[in-house]
Structure 1
């Protein structure tokens, strides 16, 4: 995708979120992250992630992946406002 997309959304704390890729779930429930996304996020084989889900109207609509190494009290306290800004 483009280096800096028109779809970028600024949030509190200087965080910037944007759409980097469109992915598909295969028949076994697995996804493949494009190489560019893995490189940009410094994702390597064996990395562990916390999966955070969000529901709207009783149905799951959003998943957030956070590297387990970074999932600390600081991330937890900033994740709430970030999610509110993204979904607002």
Structure 2
């Protein structure tokens, strides 16, 4: 098992919205690759949502459209912040190994 500071924050939450962590030295293992793939999908979704927001500002949107968009943006921002936190932790671990 790796040290506490080497845990990887995963791009999903567990029961009750609590963070999930991965403890492994194998960065090419199944769970690490799964987390990498999910992060990639989440970042792609955030980029697509940003495109929608930019095009929506030029069109007339209903209040319901704006509420849905705000909810989707909040979820995407939550995902991106989790990824940024995880990658920041990974950078710290890699710096300690060098």
Q: TM-score range by the shorter chain?
A: under 0.3
Q: Normalized against structure 2, the TM-score is what?
A: 0.25
Q: Normalized against structure 1, the TM-score is what?
A: 0.26
Q: Is the helix fraction higher in 1 or 2?
A: 2
Q: Rg: which structure is higher? A: 2
Higher relative contact order (CA 8 A, sep 6+): 2
Q: Is the strand fraction higher in 1 or 2?
A: 1
